[in-house]
Amino acid sequence: MGYQNNIAYLQQLTAAFFEEAYEQLIPTHTINVNVIAKDIDGDYSIVLFPYLKRFSTNPQALGDQIIQFLKAKKIPLQKAEVVKGFLNLTFESAFYDARLNEMFGEGSAFGSSASNGKTVIVEFCSPNTNKPIHLGHIRNILIGWSMSSILEFAGRAVKKVQIINDRGIAICKSMVAWKKLADGATPDSQSIKGDHFVGNYYVQFEKLFQKEYTDWQSGAGLDVYKSLKKEDESKEGFFKRYKNTYFNEYSQIGKEAREMLQQWESGEESVISLWKTMNGWVYDGFDTTYQALGVNFDKLYYESETYLRGKSTVEQGLVDDLFYRKEDGSIWVDLEEYGLDQKILLRSDGTSVYITQDIGTALQRYDDYAFDQCIYVVADEQDYHFQALFATMKKAKYSFSDQLYHLSYGMVDLPSGKMKSREGTVVDADDLITEVIAEAKANAKDSPNLQEITEEERAEVYNRIGLGALKYFILKVAAKKRMTFDPSQSVDMQGQTGPYIQNAYVRINSVLSKSDVDSITLSGEYTWSNQEKNVLILIDSFPRVVQESASEYDPSKVAHYAFDLAKEYHKFYHEHRILTAETDAAKVSRLLLSEVTGNVLKTSLRLLGIEMPERM
C-alpha cells in the first residue's frame, strides 16, 4: 500500500529542491513530470519552462541546479541532461530492481489505496420492470460495476445499489395485456425467460393500443384533428403529437391500464397479487442476466417502497414554504436561484412524478448508509433531471445534497443510428451475451492449449474470453462520450481488445508455470534493456492510473492502460528469451518482471469486471 510511483517521487524531489534553493513552496502536483517519448533519450523529464521567469533563470542553469540537488541526495541517476527546456533523467538500472521488488511485495494489492473511511453508494442498472435488459443497460451496468470496483480499490467502502422502477403505468400495461391475452400462461409454461415473457405483453399492449388509435384517427378522431390542429399541421404530425392525450382521455385500453394503476395505488388485492407475480417473473429473468454478466448488488431499492416517502417529503416541504402549490393543486419548486427552472414535484391529482421518488430514495439511502457520496450512473439524456434533483435537495437543505453526483454517460448508437424499440433495432442483452460467447468458442475450440482440460473448464474459458471482448469493447470508450456499437467489431479478438490483454496474461502464466525459480529478489546484477524499462515504467504508473480513473469517474483510463501494458509486454516477450535467457540474472529479472506484469494485468481487468482465463 505504501508504493510511491516514480512520477510522484520526482515531483516531490523537485518541490524539495525549490524549497531549499528558492525557499518557495510549489504544490507537488503542479510540477510537470512526464515519461519521455520513446525516441528521446531518458526515462522521465521535468518541464523547466514554468519556473524560468519566476526565478529569473534559464533552462540550463536551473536544470544544472536540480541535477546538483539530486546528486547531493544520492538519487541513483545514470544520466541527467537539459534538452530544450526539459530536464531529462535516466535512472540507474538497479533502481528499477528495487522498484520491482517493492511492487512484487505488494502482491495483488499493488495499485490500491488504504481505506479513507468514506462510504460511497453507486447506483446503476436501474431497469423498468416491463421489458428485458438491452445494450444500453449493459453499458450502464459495466460502467457502474467497474466504477464500483475502482473506487473500492482506491480506498472507499462501496455499496452497489439500484432503484427498480417497479410501479407505474408501464407495468400496468403488461398486466392488462396479460389478462386479456395470456389465458393463464406463465414463463414456465411457455419456456420463456421471465423478463422477455413480460416484455412481450408490453409489446402486445402497444399493438392493441396502436390499432385502437389508428382506427380512431379515421373516425371520431377526425373532428378532434380539425378542431385542435395547428395551422397547416398534417394529420400525421398532429396524431403523433396527440398520442399521449389520446391515451389519457379517449383510449379504452388506456383507461383499463390507468384504472389498474389506481387500483394498485389503493392496494386492491387482486391487482397487487398479479403485480407481484409478474414482477417476480421479471426479477428471475434479470437475475439470470446479471449472473451471466457476473455482476451483483448489495441492496435493491424499489420505487414502490420509496415513492410514498418522496410524497410526504414534498408535502412537508410545502408546509415549510420551500415549495409552492399552484391553483390546480400541483406542487412545484422554484429553482431559479440555481440557474434552473420551475419543476413539478407532485401532480395535481396528488400522484408522484419521477423526481418525487428520487427524493424519497435519496433520503432512504442516507438513512441506510450515511454515505459520503452517492453516485448515480444514468445516461446523459437525464442531465437536466439530476441538476434539478440535486438543486431541490439543496434547497430543502439536506446536509448531503452536495454529496450527490451524476455519473453521466453517453448513449449507445448502432452503425445504423439510434436504437429504437419501435423499429425493432434494440440489441437484447441476453442475445448479445450468447453471441459473444459463441464467437469466442468458434475461435478457441481448436486451440491446442485447451485439449487437456474438461469440457466444463473449456466452457468457462469461452465465457471469460467472450465477455472479455464485449466488456472491453464497451469500457474502452470514455464514459461521458456517446459511442457507436458495431456488433461485428464487438466480437473482435485481435488488436485493442479484451482477449489481446488476456492473451498477454496467459503467456505469462504459461512461462511462470514452466519456471523452476521459486522466490526472487533482485539486486541489480542485470542491466535492463530499453524495452524492459518500458514495461517497468508502465507498471510503476499503475497506481496513478487507478487514482485518475477514480477521481475522473472513468473506467476507460484503466482499460487503455491495460492495453498499453499488454502491448509492451507482448513486444518484450518477442524480443527477449525468458526461461532460456543469456544469464541467470537475466532470467530471474525477466521472470519477476513477468510476474508483476501479470498481476497488474489481472488486477486491471478485474477492475473492469473482466476475468482472466488461465489458458486460451
Which parts of 454-473 interact with RNA (CB under 7 A)? Answer: 461, 465
- What x/- string results for residues 83 through 122 when contact with RNA is judged by CB under 7 A? xxxx-x----------------------------------
- The total of other beta-carbon atoms located within 10 Å of residue 494's CB is 9
- What x/- string results for residues 292 through 331 when contact with RNA is judged by CB under 7 A? -----------x----------------------x-x-x-
Q: Does 240 bind RNA (CB under 7 A)?
A: no
Q: Which range of residues in 153-161, 216-224, 532-540, 567-575 is near RNA by CB under 7 A?
A: 567-575
Torsion angle, CA of 574/579/585/588, rounded to 10 degrees? 100
Judged by CB, which is closer to RNA: 366, or 572?
572
Q: Of these, 444, 522, 546, 565, which contacts RNA (CB under 7 A)?
A: 444
Question: Residue 121 in contact with residue 373, Cβ under 8 Å?
Answer: yes
Q: Does 262 bind RNA (CB under 7 A)?
A: no
In sign, the C-alpha dihedral spanning 238, 243, 245, 249 is positive
Q: Does 20 bind RNA (CB under 7 A)?
A: no
Q: Of these, 71, 115, 577, 584, which contacts RNA (CB under 7 A)?
A: 577
Q: Which 3 state secondary structure label does DSSP give 430? A: helix
Q: How is the beta sheet containing 331-334 ordered, strand by strand? A: 324-325, 331-334, 342-346
Q: Which range of residues in 78-86, 175-183, 313-321, 421-429 is near RNA by CB under 7 A?
A: 78-86
Least distance from C-beta 32 to RNA, angstroms? Answer: 5
Q: Does 435 bind RNA (CB under 7 A)?
A: no
Q: Does 557 bind RNA (CB under 7 A)?
A: yes
End-to-end alpha-carbon separation of the chain, Å?
32
By CB under 7 A, what part of segment 392-431 binds RNA? 410-411, 418
Q: Does 363 bind RNA (CB under 7 A)?
A: no
Q: Characterize the bridge pairing of strands 373-379 and 119-123.
A: parallel
Q: Of these, 493, 537, 538, 610, which contacts RNA (CB under 7 A)?
A: 493
- The total of other beta-carbon atoms located within 10 Å of residue 11's CB is 20
- The total of other beta-carbon atoms located within 10 Å of residue 456's CB is 7
Q: Does 255 bind RNA (CB under 7 A)?
A: no
Least distance from C-beta 431 to RNA, angstroms? Answer: 20
- The total of other beta-carbon atoms located within 10 Å of residue 481's CB is 11
User: Which residue in this structure is represented by grid cell 524492459?
Assistant: 532
Give the type of residue at 238.
Answer: F
Q: Which of 240, 173, 184 is nearest to 207 (CA)?
A: 173
Contacts of 263 (CB under 8 A, 6+ apart): 271
Judged by CB, which is closer to RNA: 62, or 158?
62
Q: Does 556 bind RNA (CB under 7 A)?
A: yes
Q: Does 438 bind RNA (CB under 7 A)?
A: no
Total number of residues that touch RNA (CB under 7 A): 93
Judged by CB, which is closer to RNA: 186, or 330?
330
Q: Which of 524, 525, 512, 526 is nearest to 596 (CA)?
A: 512
Question: Residue 568 in contact with residue 535, Cβ under 8 Å?
Answer: yes
Q: Which of 208, 203, 198, 201 is nearest to 132 (CA)?
A: 198
Q: Does 136 bind RNA (CB under 7 A)?
A: no
Q: Which 3 state secondary structure label does DSSP give 418? A: strand
Q: Of these, 494, 516, 518, 519, which contacts RNA (CB under 7 A)?
A: 494
By CB under 7 A, what part of segment 337-356 binds RNA? 341, 344, 347-349, 353-354
